[in-house]
Structure 1
Amino acid sequence: MPRARAAARLALAGALAIAPALLAAPSSGAQSAGSGVLAPRAQFEHVCTPTDPALEELSGLAIVGGNTYGIGDSGTDESVTVMDGDCAVTGTLPVPVDPYDIEDMGVGPDGRLWLSDTGDNERVRQTVALISLDPASGSGQLHRLTYPDGPHDAETLLIQRDGVPVIVTKEILVANGIYRPVDGTSLDGLASPGPTALERVGEVRLGPTDTPGGPVPVGGSTLVTGGAVSADGTVAAVRTYTDVYLYSAPDGDLVRALTTTTPVRVALPNQPQGEAIAFTPDGDLLAGSEAAGGALPPIEILRGAVDLARDDSWSGGSVSLSASVNESAAEEGSGGDTGALRWSTPALVGGALAAGLATYGLVRRRSRSHRD
């Protein structure tokens, strides 16, 4: 049987296998803090609808110099599509190296695009990569990366204003890991072709929520599918299939924001398979989705997203959502409260099983030979 299908079945089997243990675990009886602080009056508005078939698997969005850049994931990620504000295609930029599975896109401090070639549904890659791309010249370089703890699938790239890239993994059943280059190496310091070692610097859990959308009825609200950073580097957006979480980082430290602050949660429009998110220069937030076999979905906008994230009346101040890895391990060993998120058992089981089903249905990427 194809490796992708086998891996998906193993993921589903794993979810089913641990369900009895989860059901036996005591429930805290509290709503998951990973739901963040809901901003119910925040609304997305229609902007435009792409028409280019190259964006049927839209996975990454970025805005630079008045242009909107979009890219699909594996199989449609050989070039970046350039669009105007009406989603009309104005050009394409070939990816300078053969990608494996690009899942997100960010903007560096100097305006270069950074393509997050970090998709690994089968969790078999020995290295992942960031690919730089100069939107003016089309030139770029490959920068391989290695995880310290084995392969991960990741669809989220955040670039701090100091140029340090932060990768958030997409995990089933366990916390999503937060990784950056060892010692906080910035983009300009990454070896080419590398690899550069990554270090795990924290974790984050999101959801579950009752927001409709995504490829499965439940579970999609816990899977991290994309990220973006505001132009001034002080707000990070991390999305699932159903919701987007806005983290305020006035000092520019995104890792600190992700691991020690309460995000503002905004329910996303009901998208078939939403994976793309990007900030405009004015601090609004664009959200896009794959077609998932249907018509191309619209790109929609949340006005004033940056201001919303900074509003203390929504954010509720600084509350630890996820302790650092070392602190969590130490506290868990002592039997104390880790300060990490607690999910009620029924919600966790439901999300876990649905996430396994989502993996079974969504892992359809073909196996490809690759430079890694």
Structure 2
Amino acid sequence: MSFFIEMLLKVLFLFSIIPFLLSEKLQKKYDVRINPQVEYTIFSGPQKIRQIEERFMDETSGMAISQKYPGRIFVHNDSNGTPEIYVLDTLGQYLGSINLEGVQNRDWEDMAIGPGPVPGRSYLYIGDIGDNFSKHEELIVYRIPEPKDLDLKEKLSIVPEKIILIYPDGSKDAETMLVDPLSGDLYVLSKRDASNTLYKVDADQLINGDTVTLEKVMQLPITLSVGGDISADGTQIVIKNYWVVYYWTRNPGESLAETLQRQPKLLPYEPEPQGEAIAFTPDGQAYYTLSEKKLRVEPVLYRYDKVLKTD
């Protein structure tokens, strides 16, 4: 039975991306604004950086941009991929990879960068949080410090920390994970419910080898969330689904939940066949997106720059 359900989901997805491909053609040919609510005064429209031709990066799901090496982009594949983080430069050129020793890629769906156990160091968080059929009792978050050396002449290999998370209300699928750079708290956002649910684990509970029950925080008026990020200074938040990039700005002293309670703005987004990866640059002045390969449509790295204000 599960085979037929999986095939049905694939067929439904096939039909669901046709409007995105059509909208891309219309927008490029006629300069049509498919969604008039999109704000073009905050970030510009997309700049195509490079088509990703490396065949081993055809199911990119998570992305983070290095805070230690601002010209480096970390990405990873999703379900049943190798347990590796691939490193690109900001022109989309492949530079090498980081192997996570002793773990598997069950369904890595998102990656975040933020603080960790050692003050002043930045850490990569890899979320093994995907669960298409809601059959796993636990989520897994792997954590590694940003490498001290990223010349990648030889493949790096690192043993990650491993933190087990459990939902308080049963298994579910998720593809969005955020780490708050101000508090260090980690958030997971569900995907398949009509109003996606935000869950949280406090920074001091993120201990290697521990199992932690997530705290249910709130529901958002978003469905099918597939990725998100928080800028390094904590003031900008993006969450995307297959159609839209939602954007919030955070006021001083606000918690993430307080910020997300406000109505988001919609940012420019180039239609992608299955776009799941999004990340801010360390200065918060741009964000990148990257899709999986679908229907022979090659993934493209896009950049969106903040619009300069003029008086």
**Does 1:180 find its partner at 2:185?**
no
Q: CA deviation at 1:133?
A: 2.0
Q: CA deviation at 1:126?
A: 0.5
The answer to whether the 8 Å contact 1:77/1:102 transfers is: no
**Distance of 2:171 and 2:86 partners within structure 1:** 29
Alignment of 1:190-201 (within 5 A): 190-201=206-217
User: Structure 1's 236 and 36: CA in aligned 2 closer, same or farther, altered over 3 A?
Assistant: farther
In structure 2, stretches of 5+ residues that fail to align are 13-34, 116-120, 149-157
**Does 1:71 find its partner at 2:76?**
yes
Q: CA deviation at 1:255?
A: 1.8
User: Structure 1's 77 and 249: CA in aligned 2 closer, same or farther, altered over 3 A?
Assistant: farther
**Distance of 1:10 and 1:273 partners within structure 2:** 14
**Distance of 1:46 and 1:99 partners within structure 2:** 29
User: Structure 1's 163 and 294: CA in aligned 2 closer, same or farther, altered over 3 A?
Assistant: same
2:269 matched residue in structure 1: 268
Q: 2:186 aligns with which of 138, 162, 165?
A: 165
**Does 1:108 find its partner at 2:121?**
no
Query: How many residues end up aligned between the 2 structures?
Result: 264
Query: Per-residue CA shift, 1:95-154, capped at 9, x if unaligned?
Result: 232231000000012311100110000101100011102231634211000000001110
Q: CA deviation at 1:166?
A: 0.9
In structure 1, stretches of 5+ residues that fail to align are 14-34, 207-221, 309-372
The answer to whether the 8 Å contact 1:58/1:289 transfers is: yes
Q: Structure 2 counterpart of 1:125, which letter?
A: H
The answer to whether the 8 Å contact 2:88/2:96 transfers is: yes
Q: Structure 2 counterpart of 1:178, which letter?
A: L
Q: CA deviation at 1:171?
A: 1.6
Alignment of 1:251-330 (within 5 A): 251=253, 253-258=255-260, 260-283=261-284, 284-304=286-306
Structure with greater strand percent: 2
1:342 matched residue in structure 2: none
Say which SS state the counterpart of residue 226 (structure 2) adopts.
strand
2:89 matched residue in structure 1: 84
Q: CA deviation at 1:77?
A: 4.3
1:6 matched residue in structure 2: 5
**Distance of 2:129 and 2:267 partners within structure 1:** 26
The answer to whether the 8 Å contact 1:54/1:81 transfers is: no
Q: Structure 2 counterpart of 1:102, which letter?
A: W
**Does 1:52 find its partner at 2:54?**
yes
Q: CA deviation at 1:176?
A: 0.3
Say which SS state the counterpart of residue 224 (structure 1) adopts.
coil
The answer to whether the 8 Å contact 2:111/2:126 transfers is: yes
TM-score w.r.t. the length of structure 2 is 0.78
Aligned residues: CA RMSD: 2.5
**Distance of 1:71 and 1:166 partners within structure 2:** 19
TM-score w.r.t. the length of structure 1 is 0.66
Q: CA deviation at 1:296?
A: 2.4
**Distance of 2:114 and 2:37 partners within structure 1:** 29
Identical counterparts, % of pairs: 28
Q: CA deviation at 1:170?
A: 0.1
**Distance of 1:80 and 1:49 partners within structure 2:** 19
1:216 matched residue in structure 2: none
User: Structure 1's 252 and 100: CA in aligned 2 closer, same or farther, altered over 3 A?
Assistant: farther
**Distance of 1:51 and 1:89 partners within structure 2:** 9
The answer to whether the 8 Å contact 2:114/2:232 transfers is: no
Q: Structure 1 counterpart of 2:173, which letter?
A: D
If asked which structure has higher relative contact order (CA below 8 Å, sep 6+), I would say: 1
1:133 matched residue in structure 2: 144
**Does 1:93 find its partner at 2:98?**
yes
Q: 1:119 aligns with which of 111, 130, 133?
A: 130
**Distance of 2:40 and 2:135 partners within structure 1:** 40
Structure with greater helix percent: 1
**Distance of 1:118 and 1:12 partners within structure 2:** 23
